Amino acid sequence: MAGDQDHALLLVEDDAKLAALLDRLFTGEGYTVDVARDGQSGLHHALTSRYAVMIIDRGLPAIEGVDLVRKVRSRGVATPILVLTARGTTEDRVEGLDAGAEDYVVKPFEIDELLARVRALLRRHTDTSARLDLGERYLDVTARRVVGGAAAPIELSGRENELLQLFAAHPTQVFTRDELRRLVFQDADSPGAVDTYVYYLRRKLGRDVIRTVHGLGYRMGSA
Amino acid sequence: MAGDQDHALLLVEDDAKLAALLDRLFTGEGYTVDVARDGQSGLHHALTSRYAVMIIDRGLPAIEGVDLVRKVRSRGVATPILVLTARGTTEDRVEGLDAGAEDYVVKPFEIDELLARVRALLRRHTDTSARLDLGERYLDVTARRVVGGAAAPIELSGRENELLQLFAAHPTQVFTRDELRRLVFQDADSPGAVDTYVYYLRRKLGRDVIRTVHGLGYRMGSA
DNA sequence: GAGTGCTCTGAGGTTCCTCTGAGATTCGCG
DNA sequence: CGCGAATCTCAGAGGAACCTCAGAGCACTC
């Protein structure tokens, strides 16, 4: 199972050679790749893990590619899907798109084109879904800044962004310092860092963005 | 490169026979014709020269026709584009137009119809100066310079122009160095060039035209 | 074939981010 | 109230990321 959802990619491809090639290719580009060899296992992955993009071959054993797309979509999974196909006829293409795929690539394809299309899918998808509600304002996760209200946008550093992201995604939950350290600060030994970054966020966004729960930890200010 | 901008026409067509035919045809009608044989070279022409109209075939090597349209538009070039295609389905047509093409002709076509459609495009679209908003000033893409405000116009080099185009066309988006390298600097290995050109633009236009997002990349200054 | 302008490299200096640690402040409880 | 524990505040060290710029290589011009 892939851990990093932002760059996790599901590849459903029965041809071992092609699967290995694409796996290497995308791994080299910084993606975390899960490979499924047939439609059944592909469906299982698609429904149990979260991916940024799925690449599905049309000619699959167990479940045909287009059926797989249809099944995944019928379960409410909105992840962008790119279909690989050997046949490039219009009917073929329309069928894939009608089933709910965002894009299709005809084999044999240029490696660069495939990469470009995957990037395009990621871009389009993340562009619209990377905002977290902050009451009056919102956090633009990809641009790493807080926008909204009358004031000018407030730029955040990488750590500040990660920390605020976590709080904003779980507005009611109380996080202990230990949890925050594990989730946001990779180094296990940075006891004071959590406090410091809470302080930074408060200084930039106002004392109330994050509330202290004495003896327990922190939680989101609003709600 | 075509000199007379008012009647310059870019033809991107890989079929040598068809290219030669259309070249003769439009030259005979008084147009100055540049012919590109593949998408890569077509993109280069489209971004570096100024045309009254572009005719792009869908089935191209290197870059697919619709992708070429998308790329040209994403750089802020507003020149009317007519797409040639062998497939005439609705899906197909919608995609071409969504990418930013103005019109659409299905092969095989009548010569007279093509001429008529090009004339119609020219009539509709007499103002072909591509301008991108830059806050106080604007970037004249085709003239490769920044105009407006109290100061004198500032001339840009080719690379500077391409880079600023990309930023100005997507004012809110953060671009990583990798993306910029792929989109603006065709050569894959030019790690420091991105930084250098950001520096050049800042030196010419002020430190704030492009903002740094530490650890991520760059984005447009305004907005 | 010298001159000019553009592109990109690489090295050194600078800025920014991250985290530490120590003193000041607040909190909870007897 | 008074005390210990928890929390807040912030200066600063270390290192990574970034900026600046001189200059080499190249293409194009006259």
- Which residues of A are less than 8 Å from B92 in CB distance? 90
Give the nucleotide at minimum CA-to-C1' distance from B207: D19
Question: What pLDDT was estimated at residue A195?
Answer: 95
**How many CA atoms are closer than 13 Å to the CA of B200, on its beta-carbon side?**
17
Question: What pLDDT was estimated at residue B210?
Answer: 96
To the nearest whole angstrom, how far is the Cα of B48 from the nearest Cα of chain A? Answer: 22
Q: Which residue of B has its CA nearest to A111?
A: B62
What is the residue-averaged pLDDT of chain A? 81
**Of the segments A25-39, B143-157, B201-215, which one has the largest average pLDDT value?**
B201-215
Identify the sign of the CA torsion A10, A13, A15, A21: negative
Question: What pLDDT was estimated at residue A129?
Answer: 44
Among candidates B74, B175, B177, which has minimal Cα distance to B132? B74
- Domains of chain B (ranges, CATH numbers): 5-124 (3.40.50.2300), 131-220 (1.10.10.10)
Encoded tokens for B9: 């026409």
Span of A6-15, B1-10, B18-27 with lowest mean pLDDT: B1-10
Kindly determine whether residue B173 and residue A93, on different chains, have CB atoms separated by under 8 Å: no
- Which residues of A are less than 8 Å from B173 in CB distance? 127, 143
pTM for this one?
Answer: 0.56
CA separation, residue B91 to residues A93, B12, B82, B96, B110 (Å): 9, 22, 17, 9, 23
Q: Which residue of A has its CA nearest to B175?
A: A143
Among candidates B190, B212, B213, B191, which has minimal Cα distance to B201? B212
Q: Does the beta carbon of B196 lie under 8 angstroms from any beta carbon of chain A? A: no
How sure is the predictor about B203, in pLDDT bands with cuts at 50, 70 and 90? very high
Q: Does the beta carbon of A158 lie under 8 angstroms from any beta carbon of chain B? A: yes
Span of A169-173, B81-85, B87-91 with lowest mean pLDDT: B87-91
To the nearest whole angstrom, how far is the Cα of B32 from the nearest Cα of chain A? Answer: 32
What's the DSSP call for residue A110? -
The helix (run of H) or strand (run of E) holding residue A24 is helix A16-28
Measured in residues, chain B has a length of 223
Which residue shows structure tokens 């033809």? Answer: B11
Residue B77 identity: V
Kindly determine whether residue B214 and residue A143, on different chains, have CB atoms separated by under 8 Å: no
* A196 within 8 A of A184, measured Cβ to Cβ: no
* A69 within 8 A of A104, measured Cβ to Cβ: no
Overall average pLDDT of the B156-165 stretch: 90
What's the DSSP call for residue A11? E
* A19 within 8 A of A37, measured Cβ to Cβ: yes
Q: Does the beta carbon of A97 lie under 8 angstroms from any beta carbon of chain B? A: yes
B86 touches strand D (CB under 7 A): no
Angle at B179 between CA A153 and CA A148, to 5 degrees: 15
Question: What pLDDT was estimated at residue A126?
Answer: 55
Question: What pLDDT was estimated at residue A38?
Answer: 87
The closest CB to that of A144, out of B92, B172, B213, belongs to: B213
